[in-house]
Structure 1
Amino acid sequence: MGIRGQVRTRDGWAVQHAVVTMTDMTGAQVLRAAVDENGAVRTEAALAPGPYTVIVTAVGYAPVASTALVTASGRAEVGTVVLARQGGVELPPPGVWSLDPAHSSVSAVAQHLGISSVHGRFKEFGGRIEIFEDGGEGSHERSRVDAVIGAASIDTGNALRDKHLKSPDFLDVERFPEITYRSTRLTPVGPDRWTVHGQLSLRGVVRDVDLDLSYLGTGPDPWGGVRAAFRATTELSREDYAMNYNQVVQAGISAIGATLRVELDIQAVQGENLPEA
């Protein structure tokens, strides 16, 4: 008897603070119940048979209304109700998430001779993402990202080029072994897109850098953990970080372009520790 159902996010997580309200066709409230820690609602009092309106609300989420039919047994099954973030904004569940280098990539692309691209990647990096509890408007924007990259781990597939990139002409890895990024705030720009505002420290120079971030979703992994996936891009000017070396070939074309496109494909594991796999 009563009402049965579950309240979940788009990724399948329980919305533990949701409230379920039922009204009859005249608009009179006949039931109001909070979900349990698993996002489930289950009441025992029998309801009069007939159609009802079910409204599910939760702080930070857009309300959902649907029609439910109470059968002769006095029970209504509403199934799984999916709530979207208020304004459509999505992030992983709150808490700490650790970057998994084994299943992530940090790469940069530079134009070469004005006609093609040189691709490089950093093989050593780590970081931490902290998602704040959604307590209403603006709370998610306080979530933060901290990342560290080993500058000497640059790999472009050419040993001579990599040696030059590690030299004082470019990354100067002896003096500046780490590249760091620390976010200052997040701004939502779409249902699953954010602008991450932060500061990048490279070669001892600190500049404001914004990342265009897409949140790709969350799910379980084969090792018993929970993972979230992101993709982020930005563009950097080499000259902003005192990497002014260049070689001009015919027709005034630079051998290496002044702009670097940075591409991040990130998996993060819920919690402080990463799996070995």
Structure 2
Amino acid sequence: MTHHLPRRGPDMTTTGLDLTAFTGTYTIDPSHSQIGFVARHAMVTKVRGAFNDFTGTVVFDGANPEATAVTVTIQAASVDTRNAQRDEHLRGNDFFAMQEHPEITFVSTGLRITGEDTFDLVGDLTVKGVTNQVTIPFTYQGSATDPFGNQRLGFEGSVAINRKDYGVTWNAALETGGFLVSDKIVLEFEISAIRNA
């Protein structure tokens, strides 16, 4: 059964699903979640990658959804683009400088409900020691109780950022014009969160 987030009326009262049923603290399940990224390579193709090591929590108050608090910590060294040489380059000073900045973090500062099952999550993204505010549109995928009795909530979202805004400036010019790696990077989130006992 699919639940929808409530619509916000002009008087800012909620209608629809009783969100108080979802009030609680949730842990992001890394084995059933993915934090990935897409970059354009050599102007002609896309390279997809993911971070394999991350943790996160969601504190949700159904009576006050806007106060939702989300924190995510990603280990930069866990970057995986299915190419060992490229991954080593990404871990180095040209890109993530992981020895100085081993973690990429996101800390939410607000949430806005935008539709029946959509919301914008606003927060501070820190990459390579540089923090910028981002707004990530998410779609609520539903709630289910898994075979082990865990209540799970599912979300998907994505946002485009400019890597240069985070001091990740390395590039190589192409003989045909343009550059090897796009400045625009799309971050993709597929999240399964388990309600804490």
TM over 0.5, yes or no?
yes
> 1:92, 1:210 → 2: CA distance?
26
> 1:10, 1:252 → 2: CA distance?
48
Q: CA deviation at 1:251?
A: 2.7
* Identity score, percent: 31
- Counterpart for residue 127 of structure 1: 56
User: Does structure 1 retain, via aligned residues, the 8 Å contact 2:124–2:131?
Assistant: yes
User: Residues 105 and 92 from structure 1, CA distance in 2 versus in 1: closer, same or farther, beyond 3 angstroms?
Assistant: farther
- Counterpart for residue 148 of structure 1: 73
Q: CA deviation at 1:236?
A: 1.1
User: Does structure 2 retain, via aligned residues, the 8 Å contact 1:92–1:131?
Assistant: no
Q: CA deviation at 1:222?
A: 1.2
User: Does structure 2 retain, via aligned residues, the 8 Å contact 1:95–1:271?
Assistant: yes
User: Residues 61 and 241 from structure 1, CA distance in 2 versus in 1: closer, same or farther, beyond 3 angstroms?
Assistant: closer
Match of residue 242, structure 1, among 145, 150, 167 = 167
Structure with bigger gyration radius? 1
> 2:99, 2:31 → 1: CA distance?
25
Q: CA deviation at 1:92?
A: 6.9
**Unaligned stretches of 5+ residues in structure 1:** 1-8, 12-59, 63-83, 273-277
Q: Larger RCO: Structure 1 or Structure 2 (Cα < 8 Å, ≥ 6 residues apart)?
A: 2
> 1:61, 1:188 → 2: CA distance?
10
> 2:193, 2:144 → 1: CA distance?
11
- Counterpart for residue 27 of structure 2: 98
Q: TM-score, normalised by structure 2?
A: 0.91
Determine if the alignment matches structure 1 residue 117 to structure 2 residue 42. no
- Counterpart for residue 177 of structure 1: 102
- Counterpart for residue 136 of structure 2: 211
Q: CA deviation at 1:133?
A: 3.2
Match of residue 162, structure 1, among 74, 81, 87 = 87
> 2:91, 2:80 → 1: CA distance?
10
Instruction: State how 1:10-89 maps to structure 2 within 5 Å.
Output: 11=3, 61-62=14-15, 84-85=16-17
Which runs of structure 1 show a deviation greater than 2 angstroms over 4 or more consecutive aligned residues? Answer: none
Q: How many equivalent residue pairs?
A: 189
SS in structure 1 of the partner of residue 97 of structure 2? coil
Q: TM-score, normalised by structure 1?
A: 0.65
Question: Please, what is the CA RMSD of the aligned residues?
Answer: 2.0
SS in structure 1 of the partner of residue 22 of structure 2? coil
SS in structure 2 of the partner of residue 250 of structure 1? coil
User: Does structure 1 retain, via aligned residues, the 8 Å contact 2:20–2:61?
Assistant: no
SS in structure 2 of the partner of residue 252 of structure 1? coil
User: Does structure 1 retain, via aligned residues, the 8 Å contact 2:20–2:62?
Assistant: no
User: Does structure 2 retain, via aligned residues, the 8 Å contact 1:97–1:269?
Assistant: yes
Determine if the alignment matches structure 1 residue 223 to structure 2 residue 148. yes
Deviations 1:238-268 (A, max 9, x none): 1001111100112322111001001010100
User: Does structure 2 retain, via aligned residues, the 8 Å contact 1:128–1:146?
Assistant: yes
